[in-house]
Amino acid sequence: MRTRLTRKTLNGVWHALIVPWTNDDEVDEKRFAKECSAYANTGIHGIYTGGTTGEFYAQDDSSFETITRIACGTGHAAGLPVQIGCTALSTRVARQRIGIALDAGADGIQVAHPFWLELKPDEVLSFFTDIAKEAGTTPIIIYHTPRCKRRLSPEEIGTIAREVPTFIGMKDIGCDIATLQAMLKEAPDLAIFGSEDFYDKMPHGGRGGYCAVTGLNARYVVEYYNLCAAGNYEQASGHSKMINRYRDEVLLPMLHVDGLWDSAIDRVQRIVGGGDVGLCCQGPYRSAAQRHVEHMKRWCLQNAPELLNTE
């Protein structure tokens, strides 16, 4: 039985789902269902759609509905709770997508505030109040990203947390420890997540991570989280150093040198990890090449074989 998500129970390792596309840029339903079910029995705490990894910006109404239906149906069959990313450029479209997510049985709604025009504080509050009404009792998780043109202040986060009781957590991979502490001062029971930076954030109140390295090796990331959750930071430091080195020597050069965005890089990780998601991103964004797959695999074999999924 899946745990109901609340400010108290939302924690752990959540995996960002990648959408395989057909040659006609449609959702490859069979491969996507296989990808959703691949995380059963890995120890992760749930899966989620949308965000950059899931290319929410490239989803039209039809593909969003297909992705949502498959993620909820297959994820639940695998015993995993599912958050559905419903980010959109207007309240109306976000509400429409929330309705689809609720019909599919989503356990949580993950959403960033609209970002084409920079929102003012009253617009931010009205947006989250309106979508919470649409979601009803289903919890809201804010995707807090600088790609929304401006970051919400800790005081704004506190206001939303007080005004919207179903706002239970945040995906905020960019906040530093001081900002994390400031947000928790305003909303002490809020579940705030980074990425795979458990060693740094969890001693200061972080709840876990919304992760993509899980595509490479979910069990390794879960092992790392469990060590931190148990307070075994001495042993967890080895995992932290390895993941940070991998990020600095493999992932960041793909971003800054090769000009790939997260969506392309995460596909490479997943293919090296044994997934069948394909390298192609939705245009106009650049896709990775097979040479990136070979480079990542070779680096891991030479420097961090524990990062490779051997199952």
* pLDDT tens digits for range 258-311: 999 999 999 999 999 999 999 999 999 999 999 999 999 999 999 999 999 877
Average pLDDT over residues 241-264: 98
Q: Which CATH superfamily is domain 12-231 in?
A: Aldolase class I (3.20.20.70)
Query: How far apart, in Å, are the Cα atoms of 236 and each of 6, 52, 171, 205, 267?
Result: 27, 28, 22, 16, 26
Mean pLDDT of 89-118: 97
Nearest Cα to Cα of residue 53 among 212, 226, 172, 214: 212
Residue 217 has pLDDT above 70, yes or no: yes
Provide the pLDDT for residue 309.
83
Asked if residues 187 and 180 have their Cβ atoms less than 8 Å apart, the reply is: no
* Per-position DSSP letters for 73-98, written without gaps between them: HHHHHTT--EEEE---SSHHHHHHHH
3-state class (DSSP) for residue 111: strand
What residue segments make up the domains of the chain, in order of their start? 12-231
pTM strictly above 0.85: yes
